[in-house]
Structure 1
Amino acid sequence: MTRHKLGFWILTALVVGNMVGSGIFMLPRSLSAAASPAGVILAWIATGLGVLTLALVFGSLAVRKPELSGGPQIYAKELFREGSQGSLIAGFMSTWGYWVGNIAGFVAVITTFASYLSAFFPVLTSDKVWVDFGGFTLKAGNVLTFLVCSLLLWGTHAICLKGMKGAGRLNFIATATKVIGFVLFIVIALFAFQQSNIGPFLAPRTNESGETLGLLSQVNAAAVATLWAFIGVESAMVFAARARRKQDIRRATIAGLLISIVLYVGISMLTMGLLTQEQLMASQNPLVDGISAVTGPIGGKLLAGLGLISLLGSTIGWVLLSAEVPFQAAKLGVFLPSFSKENGKGMPKVSLWVSNALGQILLLSTVSGSISAAFDFIIYIATLAYLVPYLIASLYHLKLIWTGETYALRKERVSEGIIAGLAAIYSLWVIIAGTADLKTFLLGVALIVSGILFYPLLRRHRKTGNKTA
């Protein structure tokens, strides 16, 4: 049974499903806190153009180097001499960081699922104290949220173990449903938009230290949040080894990106016209609160239901992606070999179990704080884990263009060289903007560097394998 069975529509659904996940539900609040409307618009423009160059880089690399699959981080090993120590450690460390970043991604989706489920079960936000010991307070809502999140995680785990075809179809159905629903949201919001809710188009914001942020600083802050919306644009590329046609990877990446841009920009900007800035920044469910202000509680319940369907699909897509990353890396010899093991359905069983076990640990963040706080914390720790592989892919593309490998026409090298250069500059800019905060930088570095604890296991296996050979 061949694994190359993911066609254009399934791949596109994976891109849209993974991109339009938790971000579309929580970003209106995050963006309002980070920047004024002018800063938000400029951040969307910068991010949209920047991610478009990245999407073109991913698509080109998937066609030119089809043997390198599993995500943008895999190209780190190709920046060094083949078989060298530098190639091995670069491949392992970049895969480690990107893999754990992906785990943080699906945990963010799951915590958002719990947030929207609270529209039907308010007990999930209950402040009733169950345990109060020292400085630690355990509330009923936090415990119930943790249990719901855990149930969704392991339910998705069971679905994924049954095979890529079934999981991919479920993701496609959920993605199609969410796209239709969000288009309806945009139409309703267009008619209900209140310009007075926008507030000053250009107004200062303050950071956690109380410092006033000008327009450029606001754009930098919002750009990190808007980039989170586009995390997952590389999803088709991660599943390159399972694609029916290599050309579908590029087409699905571009199509998924364009669909997601329309949904994200439309919804994030229009939500600002449904709620005041104060209401938006305080909201745990900004889309539900926004539509409820227009249609009443029934509209809010319907949108919350759509959100649940959407997030179920996104959870499937993210769990699949998180398991695929170390699985493909292990097959290429730059990750722990046990992660290359499959079950009878061709699914990476060890990778699924370990990825979801780590996700379960991250879900503990919901026990001690609000859902929105957990979401923000997860974005913090995953920022560098995503941005560094994006920069790596751009640099590797530039290397191919410089050497002329896989290129026959000079015209192609020039045009793709400009795109790859812009993608590298964009990635570097967002890394600098996203890690300007010391907390973000240290957490991101700790996330990536933590992999060094397991690197000796890979070295030991490689030495054993060479002696056996």
Structure 2
Amino acid sequence: MSNGNKLGLWILTALVVGNMVGSGIFMLPRSLAEAASPAGVMGAWLLTGFGVLMTALVFGNLALRKPNLTGGPQIYAKELFKPGSKASLLSGFMASWGYWIGNLAGNIAIVTTFAGYLSTFFPVMTNQAALFTVGSFTLKVGNAVTFVVCTALLWATHFIILRGLENAGKLNFAATAAKVIGFFLFIVIGLFAFQSSNLVPFVADKAGDGGATIGLFGQVKNAAVATLWAFIGVESAVVFASRAKNQVDVKRATMLGLFIALALYIGISTLVMGMLDQNTLMKSEKPLIDAIQTVLGPIGGKLLAGIGLISLLGSTMGWVMLSAEVPYQAAKQGLFIPAFMKENKKGLPVFSLTVTNVLGQLFIFSTVSNSISKAFDFIIVVATLSYLIPYFISSVFQLKLVFTGETYENGKGRVADGIVAALSTIYSTWVIIAGTADLKTFAFGMLLLLSGILFYGQVKKNHVQSQSEQDRLSA
């Protein structure tokens, strides 16, 4: 690979921050207000922050101990079984497939949020006038414009990446730097506009489906799935480990990116709850803009929307890069459809990038019939559950290394790594259980995951051919 496609510490950190601080920071305050009281929201942030910290430590540790396993946390699935076995191949493929689907959904959540913030400048994007009606379906003007904008953003990003990975990484870095500065300014302004009365009642029951009452612990559990979405992308540096200039930068970028994102998320989420009353927050399509407008008026809203657009452009760049890299790296290790290994002259996964964005285009159709906020809520739950399996697998693999002593020749750090891996495993398991409590979401997520079986035959056939070729050469 040319040095021009190698990534340094700061670009890797920007990928982590840029991918984590994407759509979540703009839309989550509203989603969390619906799921929990202020006490429940803060509890969910603290719990999720701790759980993701443990998971990030696992990622960083595995990147150093197993530098040959690149492409994302799902790659570790095959290492849980005997090398070359059917179980190893199937688990590796299914984990890669699920993680890829999660990336697809995550990328489109960012694209749709971009459209939501662009509507601050172009109100036509929220126009409810009917464009045409076919049977029971009515296409509204706003939905049609939103669809066109999302499509244009997706494919513009596609062609920018094809011009070179390092240049795309630099654009993502610039966008990430701009949004970090902008959001810290938001925090400073928010401190002056914060009203504690908006957090009252601090602890309150929430009404669930069927009129059931949800207490504080139940609210924390429900909000934990949404807050985890904020941290999806913490593994971005791990996915690009094979393209890093130095392997040690992978762990450094992961931890540095996590702490920057954590500070932004907790600060902004808490301040927005204090700047808007709960009812206003739950109805908001653009909670950060509505919050800043209470202080600076429409001009402040437009300035923040501009920062948001820059932020989301960078996040889109990072997520499209990551979404294409995952199946490409898996295919190189024999765990995905062989065609995904195809590269262009610059060493970029052109086939993977194209297929990823074509499928992403299908997700964008959700904006045609739903509001932006409803499309966002639906996508993040499905995507979050798709990510949890690889997170769980990574933690279990770290436990396996600790128990077997592999890579721990002198025993140094073995106990500490075991404790971290155990806590990460417990956290991942708990959120999976909490997230699959909704039967409809669970069924849809499982359907997307199991759809990979349709393509497993190609992977298995390629594996058999590779084994036969190896046997022939060894003979």
Please say if residues 155 and 357 of structure 2, whose CA atoms lie closer than 8 Å, have aligned partners that are also in contact.
Answer: yes
The residue that corresponds to 1:349 in the other structure is 350
Q: Is residue 37 from structure 1 mapped to residue 38 from structure 2 by the alignment?
A: yes
State the secondary structure of the residue aligned to 1:138. Answer: strand
The residue that corresponds to 2:417 in the other structure is 416
Please say if residues 3 and 346 of structure 1, whose CA atoms lie closer than 8 Å, have aligned partners that are also in contact.
Answer: no
Q: Is residue 105 from structure 1 mapped to residue 106 from structure 2 by the alignment?
A: yes
The Cα shift of 1:299 comes to 0.1
The Cα shift of 1:288 comes to 0.4
Please say if residues 51 and 427 of structure 2, whose CA atoms lie closer than 8 Å, have aligned partners that are also in contact.
Answer: yes
The residue that corresponds to 1:390 in the other structure is 391
CA distance in 2, matches of 1:293, 1:209: 35
Code of the residue aligned with 2:327 in structure 1: it is: P
The residue that corresponds to 2:173 in the other structure is 172
The Cα shift of 1:96 comes to 0.4
The residue that corresponds to 1:453 in the other structure is 454
The Cα shift of 1:210 comes to 2.5
Map 1:247-286 to 2 at 5 A. 247-286=248-287
Q: Is residue 16 from structure 1 mapped to residue 17 from structure 2 by the alignment?
A: yes
Please say if residues 77 and 90 of structure 1, whose CA atoms lie closer than 8 Å, have aligned partners that are also in contact.
Answer: yes
The residue that corresponds to 2:441 in the other structure is 440
CA distance in 2, matches of 1:127, 1:258: 41
Over aligned residues, Cα RMSD in angstroms?
Answer: 1.1
Residue deviations 1:98-132, cap 9 Å, x none?
00100101100000000000000000001001123
Q: Is residue 315 from structure 1 mapped to residue 310 from structure 2 by the alignment?
A: no
Code of the residue aligned with 1:446 in structure 2: it is: L
The Cα shift of 1:465 comes to 3.9
Please say if residues 78 and 91 of structure 2, whose CA atoms lie closer than 8 Å, have aligned partners that are also in contact.
Answer: yes
CA distance in 2, matches of 1:180, 1:127: 35
Residue deviations 1:39-70, cap 9 Å, x none?
01110110000000000000000000000011
State the secondary structure of the residue aligned to 1:131. Answer: strand
The residue that corresponds to 1:53 in the other structure is 54
State the secondary structure of the residue aligned to 2:132. Answer: strand
Code of the residue aligned with 2:195 in structure 1: it is: Q
Please say if residues 70 and 238 of structure 2, whose CA atoms lie closer than 8 Å, have aligned partners that are also in contact.
Answer: yes
The residue that corresponds to 1:222 in the other structure is 223
Code of the residue aligned with 2:416 in structure 1: it is: S
The residue that corresponds to 2:297 in the other structure is 296
The Cα shift of 1:138 comes to 1.1
Residue deviations 1:333-368, cap 9 Å, x none?
111111111111111000000000010000000000
CA distance in 2, matches of 1:4, 1:369: 39
State the secondary structure of the residue aligned to 1:137. Answer: strand
The Cα shift of 1:302 comes to 0.2
Residue deviations 1:393-439, cap 9 Å, x none?
00000001110000133341101000000000000000011111111
State the secondary structure of the residue aligned to 1:272. Answer: helix
Code of the residue aligned with 1:18 in structure 2: it is: N
The residue that corresponds to 2:144 in the other structure is 143
State the secondary structure of the residue aligned to 2:369. Answer: coil
Code of the residue aligned with 1:299 in structure 2: it is: G
The residue that corresponds to 1:184 in the other structure is 185
Please say if residues 5 and 165 of structure 2, whose CA atoms lie closer than 8 Å, have aligned partners that are also in contact.
Answer: no
State the secondary structure of the residue aligned to 1:347. Answer: coil
Residue deviations 1:229-267, cap 9 Å, x none?
000000000000000111000000000000000000000
State the secondary structure of the residue aligned to 2:202. Answer: coil
Please say if residues 4 and 166 of structure 2, whose CA atoms lie closer than 8 Å, have aligned partners that are also in contact.
Answer: no
CA distance in 2, matches of 1:270, 1:401: 41
The Cα shift of 1:2 comes to 3.9
The residue that corresponds to 2:428 in the other structure is 427
The Cα shift of 1:331 comes to 0.6
The residue that corresponds to 1:205 in the other structure is 206
Residue deviations 1:302-345, cap 9 Å, x none?
00000000000000000000000000001111111111111111
CA distance in 2, matches of 1:209, 1:255: 43
CA distance in 2, matches of 1:400, 1:434: 28
The Cα shift of 1:3 comes to 6.6
CA distance in 2, matches of 1:84, 1:145: 47
CA distance in 1, matches of 2:239, 2:428: 19
Please say if residues 95 and 329 of structure 1, whose CA atoms lie closer than 8 Å, have aligned partners that are also in contact.
Answer: yes
Map 1:145-160 to 2 at 5 A. 145-160=146-161
CA distance in 2, matches of 1:296, 1:361: 37
The Cα shift of 1:466 comes to 4.1
CA distance in 1, matches of 2:17, 2:3: 25
The Cα shift of 1:134 comes to 3.1
| Structure 2, unpaired ranges of 5+ | none
State the secondary structure of the residue aligned to 2:211. Answer: coil
CA distance in 2, matches of 1:195, 1:361: 43
CA distance in 1, matches of 2:402, 2:108: 37
The Cα shift of 1:208 comes to 3.5
The residue that corresponds to 1:242 in the other structure is 243
Map 1:120-131 to 2 at 5 A. 120-131=121-132
CA distance in 1, matches of 2:215, 2:358: 42
Deviates more, 1:298-307 or 1:436-445: 436-445
Residue deviations 1:78-100, cap 9 Å, x none?
00100000010101011000001
Distance 1:3 1:326, change over 3 A: farther
The list of structure 1 runs, each at least 4 consecutive aligned residues, that deviate by more than 6 angstroms after superposition, is none
CA distance in 1, matches of 2:130, 2:18: 36
Q: Tell me the number of residue pairs that the alignment of Structure 1 and Structure 2 aligns.
A: 469
Code of the residue aligned with 1:380 in structure 2: it is: V
Q: Is residue 66 from structure 1 mapped to residue 57 from structure 2 by the alignment?
A: no
State the secondary structure of the residue aligned to 1:367. Answer: helix
| Structure 1, unpaired ranges of 5+ | none
CA distance in 2, matches of 1:336, 1:62: 24
State the secondary structure of the residue aligned to 1:209. Answer: helix
CA distance in 2, matches of 1:339, 1:97: 16
Q: Is residue 7 from structure 1 mapped to residue 8 from structure 2 by the alignment?
A: yes
The Cα shift of 1:460 comes to 2.2
Please say if residues 104 and 378 of structure 1, whose CA atoms lie closer than 8 Å, have aligned partners that are also in contact.
Answer: yes
TM-score after normalising by structure 2: 0.97
Please say if residues 383 and 440 of structure 1, whose CA atoms lie closer than 8 Å, have aligned partners that are also in contact.
Answer: no
CA distance in 1, matches of 2:4, 2:96: 22
State the secondary structure of the residue aligned to 1:181. Answer: helix
CA distance in 1, matches of 2:355, 2:209: 35
Code of the residue aligned with 1:34 in structure 2: it is: A
Code of the residue aligned with 1:276 in structure 2: it is: D
State the secondary structure of the residue aligned to 1:273. Answer: helix
CA distance in 2, matches of 1:153, 1:394: 33
The Cα shift of 1:287 comes to 0.2
State the secondary structure of the residue aligned to 1:10. Answer: helix
CA distance in 1, matches of 2:391, 2:5: 25
Code of the residue aligned with 2:180 in structure 1: it is: V
Identical positions, percent: 64
Please say if residues 4 and 241 of structure 1, whose CA atoms lie closer than 8 Å, have aligned partners that are also in contact.
Answer: no
TM-score after normalising by structure 1: 0.98
